[in-house]
Chains A and B, each alone.
Chain A
Amino acid sequence: MSSSNRLNLTPAQAQEALDAHVREIVQWHFSPETGSPFWLDWVKQAGWDPTTEIQGYADLVKFPHFQDEWLRDELNERWVPRAYVGRPYYVFETGGTTGMPKQRIGWEDQFRDYEEFSETLDDEHFPRGGNWLMLGPTGPRRLRLCIEHLAHVRGGVCYHVDLDPRWVKRLIADKEFAMANKYKDHAVEQGATLLKNRKISCLFTTPKLLEALDEKINVPDAGIKGVFCGGTQMTPQNVRFLVEEVLDNRAQFVPTYGNTLMGLACSRPLSPDDNWSITYYAPQPRAVLRVVDPDNTTETVGYGDWGRVELTTLTKEFFMPRFLERDEAVRREPWGPYGWDGVGEVRPFGAMQSTTIEGVY
């Protein structure tokens, strides 16, 4: 389903489209002709047949929560749908501060996600033909490739700075704060140098790196017209600070919530009238975000209530039912072009109870 088809539906139409998509994807992954070894083996011991019992999104609660350890422990070949056998794939990693990281394989999902996202960007602030700076996590992360693809789709090129978030997390965990700051400075200085010496109008970075960049260079004065930002929690106060002060209301700030497993959730436009609260909408139907009761994860919480974020990814390349993210959020109502629920004020799960190391990413 293309971006133009999936947007601007009523909630009922969006639900209908999602249910049809769920049926199609479940058929695909659990059919011997097209499915992956992992899911075909799984269904043998499941004791039920998803291809007959799953008739819509609501039926997915019949699946247990997807275990992210599977992405670490299973060989990547086990995730290749039969229909893709023989086609080389990308391997993207997530997490992995220590030990073996989790991996997700992909062919084109990442490109479709960012092409669709590109259509939501405002050409005035993210000009067509404008060049990008990617000042964020690189290496085996999907994001690095995706930002470059986004730049290309929009007719520009992308400059990069190397940044290894695992090293930052490790430094912070070891209380090596001075070294972590030095590494951050090292990355940000390279970004500032590129901004001074190349024509760049669009920036992807994390909130903390944007703040750090502002200490080296005036970001709007350097030619940046739009900032696409993600990677860590953004409180309303942080967002307001970045928009009003760091960007001086002169460059557009577009926050995003995304990861290797989901793709990219778009935010509704920021506004002081909303107290700068961010609400994200998943790229439904390819991925669905649900805010669930942490004590009874089959239940969706009420609108305006906090709960844990559950992600379901539904593409032909990857099926991941009911993965519990390490985030919590407020369930928000459908809005504007998004005829499905949003997740608001995302923060690390249990943030009010414990400290989570987020680092710069």
Chain B
Amino acid sequence: MTLPHIPVLRRGQVYESLEKVEIKSVRTGESVVEISHANAGIIRRDMRRIGDARAALRKFSCAELVAIAKKAGEHFLHSTLPLGDQTQSPQDYIEQLSATSGLPHILIRRNMGKIYQVFTEMETILRGLTRGLDLTVIDRGSGEQQGVPVSYYAATEALGVVLPSNSPGVNSLWMPALVMKIPVVLKPGREEPWTPFRIIQSFIAAGCPADAFSFYPTDHEGSGAVMDTCGRALIFGDEATVQRYAGNPGVSVHGPGRSKVLIGNDEAENWPQYVDLIAQSIAENGGRSCVNASCVITPRHADALADALARRLAEIRPVPATDESAQLAGFANPKMAQFIDQAITQGLQTAGAEDITAEYRTDPRIQELDGSTYLLPTIVRCNNFSHPLANREFLFPYASVLEIPQDKMLEQIGPSLVVTGITHDPGFSDALVGSPNIDRLNLGPLPTTRVQWDQPHEGNLFEFLYRRRAIQRAGN
């Protein structure tokens, strides 16, 4: 069988580039797929006619697009879909993605479930994002909401997205744009072209116009072209990326999540009850998501809590990718695992931090299994928040545990994508609600990884893509 080829999609049109990149299995080193790469010029040129893509979407009502999305979800989960000049069954997708990303099959299946939910819960998602706006307002451009005249117009002809490779779930962030009639221009992560391509094929199979999808595997310059030419863009990256686009209202940057679990004074004595929940927050989805907790703060018993978490997480070991009990993901690039391992080892040389998990394992943090490189879950007890390992996020189950008085917590935590506040204290709850540093707040014992579809994530996509204008009509 010949190697599958993933083409460029230029407003839905298949384009085979002369520049192709082969992506290899992280386990066997064998080529898994050949991917056409778009040069930046193609992207810039195509974007001049992106208005055609939006016009194709505008022929549908939002209600029709919601129905299409629902059907697309079924295709995503169950259908054999086009993959270049070949086809891809759901099982092919799992195996191919696992081979290039290192994700175990079970985690991919869970992510498929999440993506399926986004497809099928689109109406709920839109209701949350628009605060219950009648979707015909988007169709017509104006209408009423709670008796008040409203008018919305698209702030862009397309949403550009520069995707990472860490988890298929991140694709859920751009999917609602289609139902809001905004075409997408996607630059997939190097090791993860599979999920966005399959989502696109699912939408098309369900009746969404192909014109709405541009898919550009590309280089750094091409990513820049996506960012520069789309009126609105999402990008995932590190602190440097966040800095680069800070203050650019057309770019929504998804940087490190630095999600946290905070325990209030009132629940500090009850810490043993929360060990499972915190461990889940740290380790779910292989610890690769921005919503995974990377820091746990309690006013008391930090040593005991760190010890219990370390013991629990040390039970997680690498297993073959097909093992249904798998919880860890291998690294697509072993050098990344080595870099992270060295960063932690180096950080531990600064006084005030101890790797508690080290006591519960006899072997090194970095492991190899079936040709794949893994990092074992790591809990580091830090004695102050300014320690280099205290507010770090890594691409595996990692968290620091700190003891900080409740009244000092919020002034120290810094920007945090998700905070789970374990407290019944109305005063502390109010303080959490009032904190400008918290993007998503879970009040009570909810894992940081729990996502509710009617809640916005790192900014409100509807407000990012649409602007409200004042509207008045003269009476008859």
Contact = CB atoms under 8 A, between A and B. Distances in A.
Partners in one complex: yes
Interface of A: 177, 211, 214-215, 235-238, 240-242, 245-246, 275-276
A241 B44 CA distance: 12
B254 interface: no
Nearest to B37: A237
A242 B40 CA distance: 12
Contact of B42 (A235, A245, A275): A245
A177 B17 CA distance: 27
Interface in B387-413: none
Given A237-B37, A237-B39, A238-B39, A211 B44 contact: yes
A216 to B, nearest CB: 11
Interface centre among A177, A240, A241, A246 (most CB of B within 10 A): A241
Nearest to A245: B45
Contact of A235 (B19, B44, B45): B19
B18 A237 contact: yes
Interface residues of B, number: 11
Q: Closest 6 interchain pairs by CB? A: A237-B18, A237-B19, A211-B41, A236-B18, A237-B39, A241-B41
Given A237-B39, A241-B39, A214 B18 contact: no
Contact of B39 (A177, A214, A215, A235): A235
A246 B37 CA distance: 18
A235 B41 CA distance: 12
A275 B41 contact: no
Contacts of A242: 41
A211 B48 CA distance: 13
Contacts of B39: 235, 237-238, 241
A319 to B, nearest CB: 39
Contacts of A215: 44, 48
Contacts of B19: 235-237
A238 B19 CA distance: 9
A214 B42 CA distance: 11
A246 B46 CA distance: 11
A66 to B, nearest CB: 33
Nearest to B38: A237
Contacts of B48: 215
A352 B391 CA distance: 35
Contacts of A238: 39, 41
A276 B16 CA distance: 14
Given A235-B39, A236-B18, A242-B41, 20 more contacts: A177-B224, A211-B44, A214-B45, A215-B44, A235-B18, A236-B19, A237-B17, A237-B18, A237-B37, A237-B39, A238-B39, A238-B41, A240-B18, A241-B39, A241-B42, A245-B41, A246-B41, A246-B45, A275-B18, A276-B18
A240 B19 CA distance: 11
Interface in B1-31: 17-19
A237 B224 CA distance: 18
A357 to B, nearest CB: 12
A241 B39 CA distance: 8
20 contacts: A177-B224, A211-B41, A214-B45, A215-B44, A235-B19, A237-B18, A237-B19, A237-B37, A238-B41, A240-B18, A241-B39, A241-B41, A241-B42, A245-B41, A245-B42, A245-B45, A246-B41, A246-B45, A275-B18, A276-B18
